[in-house]
Structure 1
Amino acid sequence: MRYALIVDDEVLIRRKVSEILQLYGFEHFLEAENGQQAVELAVQHQPLLVVMDVTMPVMDGLTAAEKISSSAPAPLVLLTGNADRQTIETACRSGVLSYVVKPFSAEQLCAAVDLAVHQFMALSDLRERVRKLEDTLETRKQVEKAKGLLMLQGLSEAEAYRKLQKLAMSKRKTLREIAEAVLLMAD
């Protein structure tokens, strides 16, 4: 289901945002009136979008945004009457991807949502690519270490690598798993 989490201590603002997001294509809405509720709902339901006010009771929107970004990542749009530099800088550090100043129109909110979703997808793609590159680098390190151990036993570099490859194929394991096993046996 396409959940959007709307967080504002004013019921009328939450209603306005949900009406706009319905036109945008969201079907189901979660609502919270403070940052603490927002964090709990985000962790529990993993919404596709979070639209949140800055100034709220219990926990402010910036603190909630930071917690949501770390535990239940989603595109975050901030609603606020504060357009000061400090708030914007804090919002950026908190994982907010777009910003709308109250009072806002449907067009402004939709533009902010488009921007947040686009930025979130780009960041998610980059994070995944970094994760894959880190995994590839770690695999390479393990394979190089295992080759080094095999070379100490008199094999050439090519022979050591081919031996690791053959073991991986015969055992139906990844090259990294075989390299790690070779390293464990050497310890």
Structure 2
Amino acid sequence: MKKKLRVLIAEDEYLCLLGLRANIEELGHVVIAEATDGKSAVELAIKKKPDIVITDINMPILDGLEVIKNINETLFIPSIIVSGYYDENLIKRATEEGVLYYLVKPIDFKDIKIAIEITSARFEEFKRLQDELQDTKKALDARKHIEKAKGILMDRMKLKEPEAMKRLQKMSRDNNQKLVDVAKDLIKADSLFQQ
């Protein structure tokens, strides 16, 4: 069973809104909010935090692309833009605002199914890459602290690098602390001696 998504629909044409909602529910997803103008769409998205936003491009108050831009300034929610026509400039703008899929009306069941599947897959890939980047940043940050702590031990205790590393590892084991935390404590303690 695929994940049941919580969907926000922003559409000012009532019949299109009904059609989208029927197709989304038929796919097994839940429509958690509906907006008929751009301002409400942004407020609802930020309040309800849906898994996906589907918005018409031509909306009152804020157009669909402004809706996506405003939402993405607060939190990144995968989005699908719906338009009455194919327009290269709109597609370019949509891409710049982080829209993951562009649909042209009329939209049928198959169109919305493909759009949701591709958008969800792209978003999962984006999150995975973001997590990997965070892990890499954390690893580099930890490495920086460990290298600095080794340098302090080498300087203060006149140790060679391998012995300084072994000393840090022993402190880590003895205190049942992560190596990076031992390194940070050592750096902090060293800074007190330099005041």
Say whether the 8 Å CA contact 1:80–1:102 is kept in structure 2: yes
Of 129-138 and 70-79, deviating more is 70-79
Which of residues 11, 14, 19 is equivalent to 2:14? 11
Q: Which residue of 2 aligns with 1:119?
A: 122
Q: How does 1:121-160 map to 2 (within 5 A)?
A: 121-153=124-156, 154-160=158-164
The residue identity in structure 1 corresponding to 2:180 is: R
Q: How does 1:167-186 map to 2 (within 5 A)?
A: 167-186=171-190
Say whether the 8 Å CA contact 1:6–1:51 is kept in structure 2: yes
Number of residues of Structure 1 aligned to a counterpart in Structure 2: 187
Q: Which residue of 2 aligns with 1:29?
A: 32
> SS of 2:110's equivalent?
helix
What are the ranges of 5 or more consecutive residues in structure 2 without an aligned counterpart? Answer: none
Offset of residue 167 of structure 1: 2.2
> SS of 2:81's equivalent?
strand
Which of residues 93, 96, 105 is equivalent to 1:93? 96
Q: Which residue of 2 aligns with 1:109?
A: 112
In 2: Cα distance, 1:99 partner to 1:79 partner: 6
The residue identity in structure 2 corresponding to 1:7 is: A
Say whether the 8 Å CA contact 1:98–1:116 is kept in structure 2: yes
Q: Which residue of 1 aligns with 2:82?
A: 79
The ranges of structure 1 where at least 4 consecutive aligned residues each deviate by more than 4 angstroms after the TM superposition are: none
When residues 65 and 164 of structure 1 are mapped into structure 2, their CA distance, relative to the original with a 3 A threshold, is same
- Please report the TM-score for the alignment, with normalisation by the length of structure 2: 0.89
Offset of residue 10 of structure 1: 1.7
Offset of residue 2 of structure 1: 3.9
The residue identity in structure 2 corresponding to 1:177 is: D
Say whether the 8 Å CA contact 2:42–2:70 is kept in structure 1: yes
In 1: Cα distance, 2:139 partner to 2:181 partner: 13
The structure with the larger Rg is 2
> SS of 2:59's equivalent?
coil
> SS of 2:77's equivalent?
coil
Offset of residue 122 of structure 1: 0.7
The residue identity in structure 1 corresponding to 2:171 is: L
When residues 73 and 140 of structure 1 are mapped into structure 2, their CA distance, relative to the original with a 3 A threshold, is same
In 1: Cα distance, 2:179 partner to 2:10 partner: 48
In 2: Cα distance, 1:157 partner to 1:82 partner: 65
| Percent of aligned pairs sharing the same letter | 30
Q: Deviation per CA, 1:126-163, whole angstroms, max 9, x where unpaired?
A: 11111111111111111111111111121221221122
> SS of 2:29's equivalent?
coil
In 2: Cα distance, 1:82 partner to 1:181 partner: 61
